Amino acid sequence: MIPIGDYDKRITLLSKEKGKITAFAKGARRPNSQLLAATNPFSFGEFEMYEGRSTYNIVKANISNYFRELATDVEAAYYGFYFLELADYYAVENGNEKELLKLLYQSLRALESSSYLNRLVRCIYELKVLTINGEYPNVFTCLKCQKEEELTWFSIRHGGTLCKTCGEQEGAVALHTSTLYAMQYIITSPVEKLYTFQLSEEVLRELERIMKRYMEQYVNQEFKSLHVLEELSGV
Query: pTM, whole model, 2 decimals?
Result: 0.93
Q: Please report, as a single letter, which amino acid is at residue 93.
A: E
The whole-chain average pLDDT of the chain stands at 92
pLDDT tens column, 146-155: 999 999 999 9
pLDDT at 75 over 60: yes
Cα 73 vs. chain centroid, distance in angstroms? 18
DSSP string, 141-206: S-TTT---S---EEETTTTEEE-HHHHHHHTPEE--HHHHHHHHHHHHS-GGGSSS----HHHHHH
pLDDT at 235 over 60: no
Determine the pLDDT at residue 234: 65
Query: Cβ(160)–Cβ(152) under 8 Å?
Result: no
pLDDT at 170 over 80: no
> Where do the domains of the chain lie?
2-65, 72-233
pLDDT at 5 over 80: no
Mean pLDDT score, 85-105: 95
Determine the pLDDT at residue 58: 94
pLDDT tens column, 12-65: 999 988 999 999 898 888 888 889 888 999 999 999 998 887 789 999 999 999
Determine the pLDDT at residue 15: 94
pLDDT tens column, 112-147: 999 999 999 999 999 999 999 999 999 999 999 999
Residue 60's CB is within 10 A of a number of other CB atoms, namely 11
Name the pLDDT band for 223 (thresholds 50, 70, 90): very high
One of 2.60.120.10, 3.30.70.260, 1.10.260.40, 2.40.50.140 is the CATH number of 2-65, namely 2.40.50.140
Question: Minimum mean pLDDT among 93-102, 164-173, 180-189: which range?
Answer: 164-173
Question: CA–CA separation, 197 vs 64, rounded Å?
Answer: 27
State which fold the 72-233 domain adopts.
de novo design (two linked rop proteins) (1.20.1440)
Query: Cβ(173)–Cβ(156) under 8 Å?
Result: yes
Question: CA–CA separation, 104 vs 67, rounded Å?
Answer: 12
Question: CA–CA separation, 21 vs 93, rounded Å?
Answer: 6
Instruction: Tell me the β-bridge partners of 8.
Output: 4
Name the pLDDT band for 215 (thresholds 50, 70, 90): very high
pLDDT tens column, 194-212: 999 999 999 999 999 999 9
